[in-house]
Amino acid sequence: MSRKKNYMQHPIRYWLVLGMLLSGFGVVSARAVYLQVLSSDYLQSQGDTRHTRVLTDNSHRGMILDRNGVPLAISTPVDSVWAHPKTLTKERNRWPQLAALLGLNTSELSKLVNKHSGREFMYLKRHITPEVAERVMNLKVAGVALLREYRRYYPAGAIAGHVIGFTNIDDRGQEGLELAYDSWLRAVPGSKRVLKDLQGHAVEVVESITLPTPGKNLIVSLDRRIQYLAYRELKAAVQAHRARAGSAIVLDARTGEVLAMVNEPDFNPNNRAQLRSRVFRNRAVTDLFEPGSTLKPFTVAGALESGKFSPNTLINTAPGAIRVGYKTIKDARNYGLISVARVIEKSSSVGAIKIALSLKKKDMWELLKRAGFGETTNSGLPGESPGLLNPPSSWVKIDQASLSFGYGISVTPLQLARAYTVFANDGEMPPISLLRRDAPPSLTRVLPSQTVRKIRAMLELAVGREGTGAAARVPDYRVAGKTGTVRKLTAAGYVDNRYVAWFAGFAPASSPRLVMVVLIDEPTRGGYYGGQIAAPVFARVMTGALRLLDIPPDAPRDGVNKRMVAARAKGGT
């Protein structure tokens, strides 16, 4: 009765309290509807911002394999240290420990954090060792975590450095095949959403937003065994003769595939501290040299094509010198009256000049152009030079004479090697390839086969006992080739104490399979002639390469080798 009385005495207060309760309930209900229904997406995004993060999901770059499947470039997983700048800023008391572990000082770390303030992501140290990664995580610094990346590793090291090239820290190709085929080899990263804990560490992958795509493998034409042989012998020759530099190339004569390409000085792509342009430049395709007497076979080929000469046509080279314009060109000695074939065997510049001056300038130029001089080989390697071959309209008499023995024209070692496939392949030239070919390529006819066979016989004489290239002979095999010795051209003109030694040849001469060019730049000890310096390198590499590829001998010696050839002919081993 008393409660009813109180109620009746204070009706306004009652309704006021009830109204306030109902209003509060309505507000709470409306807020709940707003938050749970109308603003659910916003709230979810705010929660995601505070507790999840989108990270890059990396994948590995494609491998580079030699023609037999041996890895030349592979990607290995490594960890990089990253941080959330805003979170890391709150952990200043931990900076000295973290900086010391990452090889930084505190001021460097401070500058790094300040530089990336306002961002969600920053690298602290990339590509660290597993030991350092473990110690970083054991510090448990808020906002610091690891990201899986990939580092390129080159098993062959310096042996194939110039051809394979290298990548930068972002796994992008910078030189060599790594750059030439970067779009093929490169992985496409994905992205993933991760859940983070209170310290900002990623603790769980919530979802994969986009899946990463690994790069595709690349099978190249190199044979790692022959590459090693060429590297070893070239390095030994450059060191023995105290030369400035050197290059060597081995081609498959029939397909144009590059089986080996080496340069000295070398560099190890695994050691990023040594990556300097003067070291990693691939001299075999970027540097130009006058080819010297290695060009004489093309002069003689043009002479045979003109119909004015045959291998037995006699040329009077007496008295061992000839004057053209204001210049006098001399032979090593007076060879007197010799045949065209002996011009190649003895490398007579006087004989080559007399032959060249009887030919039309345009015919000489067109032959050299067909052989690929004055244009790149389309190898695809970065920085390849087209060389220099001036048009015949600009030639004067001395230009035509000089060109006959390889002066006044500039070539790369790869260009010269490609040109010699013409002599090794019955007059046809295959396109150069640094990728393994699984089918025969289309060939370009440069010279008639009958002309080439005559030149090939002359080149065999040049490697004979009385030829300038005798040091290039290979036991049990017939070899054909040509030496070259060139005085270097400087700003002051040609100098007498700086030379380039060449040898270009192929084997077995009866059915050529391999073409090789060797260049030694500025030898300073033990001679400077191509026959002294470059020919022995050819012999040592070719000896090993022919046996590695199991190419049958075409000039076996008596005894054991003859029995081996007979056994093979009968199907034995």
**373-389 pLDDT tens trace:** 999 999 999 999 999 99
Mean pLDDT for 290-299 is 98
Token code pair at residue 257: 């595939």
| Mean pLDDT in residue range 495-520 | 96
Pairing label, strands 327-330, 321-324: antiparallel
- DSSP state letters, 365-404: HHHHHHTTTTS------TT----B---GGG--HHHHHHHH
The whole-number pLDDT of residue 188 equals 80
CA atoms of 315 and 301, how far apart (whole Å): 15
- The whole-angstrom distance between residue 404's C-alpha and the CA centroid of its chain comes to 33
Residue 16 to residue 561: CA distance in whole angstroms: 120
Helix (H, G, I), strand (E, B) or coil at 265: coil
Which segment of 207-211, 236-240, 302-306, 527-531 scores lowest on mean pLDDT?
A: 207-211
Cβ atoms of residues 81 and 102 within 8 Å: yes
Residue that has been written with the tokens 């044979």 in this structure: 223
The DSSP secondary-structure symbol of 497 reads: E
- Alpha-carbon gap, residue 363 to 181, rounded angstroms: 38
Least confident of 46-50, 74-78, 417-421, 499-503: 46-50
Secondary structure E strands in 84-182:
122-128, 144-153, 166-167, 173-175
Percentage of the residues of the chain whose pLDDT score is greater than 90? 65
Give yes or no for a contact between 382 and 177, defined as CB atoms under 8 angstroms apart: no
Q: What is the pLDDT of residue 573?
A: 33
Note the pLDDT of residue 173. 92
d(CA 257, CA 275): 28
Calpha distance 125→99 (Å, rounded) = 10
In this model, does residue 44 exceed pLDDT 80?
Answer: no
Our CA dihedral for 319, 320, 322, 326, rounded to 10 degrees, sits at: -110
Q: Give the Å distances, CA to CA, from 165 to 272, 349, 381, 541.
A: 12, 40, 10, 23
Catalytic residue among 293, 347, 348, 402: 293
Scanning the structure block, which residue is given the tokens 């690891």?
146
Q: Which residues contact 127 (CB under 8 A, 6 or more apart)?
A: 78, 79, 80, 149, 151, 169
Other CB atoms within 10 A of residue 526 CB = 12
What does the mean pLDDT of the chain come to?
88
Backbone angles phi and psi of 161, in degrees to 5? -55, -45
With a cut of 90, say whether residue 46 has pLDDT above it.
no
Q: Average pLDDT of 62-81?
A: 94
Q: Tell me the CA end-to-end span of the chain in Å, nearest whole number.
A: 125
Q: Quote the distance between the C-alpha of residue 453 and its chain's center.
A: 34
Q: What is the dihedral of CA 98, 103, 108, 110, to 10 degrees?
A: -10
Q: Residue by residue, what is the 3-state secondary structure of 20-84?
A: HHHHHHHHHHHHHHHHHHHCHHHHHHHHHHHHEEEEEECCCCCCEECCCCCEEEEEEEEEEEEEC
Residue 562: pLDDT band with limits 50, 70, 90: very low
Mean pLDDT calculated for residue range 343-368: 97
**Strand-pair category, 514-521 with 493-507:** antiparallel
Which residues 6+ apart lie within 8 Å of 133 measured at CB? 79, 81, 146
How many Cα atoms occupy the beta-carbon half-sphere of 175 within 13 Å?
22
* Alpha-carbon span 128 to 138, nearest angstrom: 15
| Residue 277 φ then ψ, to 5° | -60, -35
Q: Which of 86-100, 366-380, 417-431 has the lowest mean pLDDT?
A: 86-100
Per-residue pLDDT band for 147 (boundaries 50, 70, 90) equals: confident
Q: Average pLDDT, stretch 445-463?
A: 97
Q: Which residues pair with 493 in a beta bridge?
A: 490
Q: What is the pLDDT of residue 209?
A: 74
Sheet with 480-490: list strands edge to edge. 258-264, 245-252, 514-521, 493-507, 480-490
**pLDDT, tens digit, for every residue of 210-269?**
777 889 999 999 999 999 999 999 999 999 999 999 999 999 999 999 999 999 999 999
Please indicate whether residue 571 or residue 148 has the higher confidence score (pLDDT): 148
Euclidean distance between CA atoms 433 and 363, whole angstroms: 29
Is 511 a residue of the active site? Answer: no
- Rounded to whole angstroms, the Cα distance separating 185 from 188 reads 10
In angstroms, what is the C-alpha Rg of the chain? Answer: 36
Q: How many CB atoms lie within 10 A of CB 254?
A: 20
**Mean pLDDT along residues 144-160:** 91
In the prediction, which pLDDT does 48 show?
A: 53
Lowest model confidence (mean pLDDT) among 240-244, 290-294, 313-317, 557-561:
557-561
Q: What are phi and psi of 50, to 5 degrees?
A: -85, -25
Average pLDDT value for residue range 294-323: 96
Domains plus CATH for the chain? 54-219 (3.90.1310.10), 224-568 (3.40.710.10)
Contacts of 22 (CB under 8 A, 6+ apart): none
Confidence of residue 572 (pLDDT cuts 50, 70, 90): very low
Q: Closest Cα to residue 481, out of 501, 464, 502, 460?
A: 460
